[in-house]
Structure 1
Amino acid sequence: MTISQLRAFLAALEHGSFTAASVHLELTQASVSELVSRLERELGVALFTRGSRRLVPTEAAIELRPHAAQAVSAVRNGIDTIDALTSLERGTCTFGVLRNAAYYDLADLVENFHHRHPNVRVRLIGINSALVARSIAEGEIEAGLLVLPIDEAGLDVRPLFRDEVLYASSTRPAEAGPVSIEEASAAKLVLYDAFAGWDDPTRRQLRERARWNGLTIEPAIEVENVETALSLVAAGAADTIVSRTIAESAGFPDTIRTAPFAEPMHDTIALVQREGVLLSPATKQLAELAERMLRERIDEHQGRTSVV
């Protein structure tokens, strides 16, 4: 069994035909077909049912896939590691972060990383956690710091800490106490992350809690950024929800009051990568730096966040 055979197998599995796999691998169609056939002979099983239009993977192919991906990834990362030793950590890392990363002291993550590893190219993707999870599962992003829950299968999820979700309003009386889900359901709300919608992990928690109680949550206003939502809340146009970290940030409007939910709700921040695939050296170092920065933040604010 060779790495070339495994790469040909994975390409055929991903692209659905030997022709498409050959274009991806920059080999001839006959070469890709022969590499897969050799692998099948060595394993003693058929990996594909050859159809007229598309290769159909067998059960054996599905079972082999994660092991083949890990083997190919390990060899590629081994080569990258040697390159790093001889070229001052040359390479590229692609990493996803929370949409509101600045509030978690991660705004300077790239600056810190680039200062330590100036020869590494960095792609930092800051979109909603649900979309980052999807991109990691599809191999577009190597790893990321996300808010849970997420649904994508095939991901290795390592929770780091929890951040309480609070109700934010400029019109609700300060002495009203904790917020029930009934009150939240009846309120006029502005919710952010409009593009992700109810796939957003925090919004998803709110909707599921309402459903458990036979209620619905329908925002009166949807915007993309939390800052826009907070401006509307400060103006008295609607209420919203925010993490405690955002509520205690320096730029949080003074006119907005926050209250916990009667049944506490939390965002869980986790480090996520594809299951069974080793990170490239550059991305591994960026992930370690991001986790270390978050751990330092937890040590500074033990009363506001909790370790998972």
Structure 2
Amino acid sequence: MATSSSSHADPGDVASHLTLKQLRSFVAAARLGSFTAAAARMEVAQASVSELIRKIEDEEGVTLFVRGGRRLLLTSAGSTLLPFAERALAAVDEGAHALRAQRSLQGGVVTFGLLRNAAYYVLADLVQHFHENHPGVRVRMVGLNSVEVAEEVANGAIEAGLVVLPIEDAALKVTPLLRDEVLYVSRDAARTARPVSVADLAQARLVLYDAHYNWRDPTRRQLAERAQLAGMRIEPWVEVEHVESALGLVARGVGDTVVSRAVAESPAFPAGLHTVGFEEPMHDTIALVQRQGSELSPAAREMARMARRMLLRGTGGEAGPQR
């Protein structure tokens, strides 16, 4: 008696049913928590994402998401599939990246991330200099907080970037480039007459920037860790997004803030403000990050090389963290 071919299916057949589009839709929905967000990230219709995921569920006889709530939740089957799907997509993306890396600097796109205050480190002209040397390469420069630059590099959205440490680096190769001292800033000269202690910080009316990232911001993390070790807590009086806004408020006497020396010594630093270091000197360490085990494309390598050279030349710093 003949038996159906499905009863003797090769175990590898299951994997062959899953297409890259299906896996990308599934991973995007799992990471972002909704079909709508996944569709926006993939630049397709929501119905397409829903249908691709539904096909996986129908073909494999499982349910991948709990639907109906404000956010999609993975079922047991979805949680089982996710790491395999992520590894499969990473392998495909790495293969495509390896092919692109063989290309010259005559075309293509380079993606690079910059810390938010990059302009203060003489990096404002980076794109111009790169374009003058490699006019055929398109540039996608992402200027976000170091937290998000690190995340975007880790998930492969951008090839490499400059960040301020510390960051979450489990998936990243981190190359420290230079350190820049962090200074306390006040309109009141009396508050900068001596180096600032953790106790001074805990009692100060602080105006802190990078409000969106809050205590995930690397500089803020350093402040929080110092306060925690001293058994204290730092509570900002005012929070804003940009360092320029914070300095403007400090100039009006609203409170005090902290900035890197590069910011304090820039032409944009408001007149009439005073700075001082900390009792235990604190530094922002600027580093180059890329994905662990990945090879940068020629364009990204060149962008990183130019950024490093401009950093060190502009600040007179030295490569690597100093102790």
The C-alpha deviation readout for 1:174-200, integer Å capped at 9, x for no partner, is 673100000111010100111111111
- Map 1:248-259 → 2, pairs under 5 A: 248-259=265-276
- 2:158 paired residue among 124, 132, 141: 141
1:280 aligns with 2:297: yes
Secondary structure at 1:264 match in 2: coil
Q: Aligned-pair distance for 1:63?
A: 9.4
Distance 1:169 1:129 in 2: 25
Q: Which amino acid aligns with 1:142?
A: E
Extract unaligned runs of 5+ from structure 1. Answer: 34-48
1:293 aligns with 2:310: yes
Q: Aligned-pair distance for 1:223?
A: 0.8
Give the corresponding residue for 2:64.
53
Distance 2:173 2:192 in 1: 43
- The sequence identity of aligned pairs, in percent, is 48
Q: Aligned-pair distance for 1:171?
A: 1.1
Secondary structure at 1:262 match in 2: coil
1:153 aligns with 2:185: no
Q: Which amino acid aligns with 2:247?
A: L
Q: Number of residue pairs matched?
A: 274
Give the corresponding residue for 2:126.
109
Q: Aligned-pair distance for 1:51?
A: 4.5
Q: Aligned-pair distance for 1:151?
A: 1.6
Contact 2:202 2:234 in 1 (8 A): yes
Give the corresponding residue for 1:81.
102
Q: Aligned-pair distance for 1:135?
A: 1.5
Q: Which amino acid aligns with 1:265?
A: M
Higher strand share: 1
Distance 1:115 1:235 in 2: 41
Give the corresponding residue for 1:95.
112
When residues 203 and 187 of structure 1 are mapped into structure 2, their CA distance, relative to the original with a 3 A threshold, is: same
* CA RMSD across the alignment: 3.5
1:226 aligns with 2:237: no
Contact 2:176 2:285 in 1 (8 A): yes
The C-alpha deviation readout for 1:234-260, integer Å capped at 9, x for no partner, is 111100000011111122122111111
Contact 1:163 1:306 in 2 (8 A): no
Contact 1:179 1:262 in 2 (8 A): yes
Q: Aligned-pair distance for 1:296?
A: 2.0
Secondary structure at 1:261 match in 2: coil
When residues 271 and 277 of structure 1 are mapped into structure 2, their CA distance, relative to the original with a 3 A threshold, is: same
TM-score calculated relative to the size of structure 2: 0.73
Distance 2:133 2:95 in 1: 24
Give the corresponding residue for 2:47.
none
Q: Aligned-pair distance for 1:81?
A: 2.5
Give the corresponding residue for 2:139.
122
Q: Which amino acid aligns with 1:93?
A: V
Contact 2:182 2:283 in 1 (8 A): yes
Give the corresponding residue for 2:278.
261
1:206 aligns with 2:223: yes
Give the corresponding residue for 1:42.
none
Contact 1:232 1:238 in 2 (8 A): yes
Give the corresponding residue for 2:204.
187
- 1:242 paired residue among 250, 259, 263: 259
TM-score calculated relative to the size of structure 1: 0.76
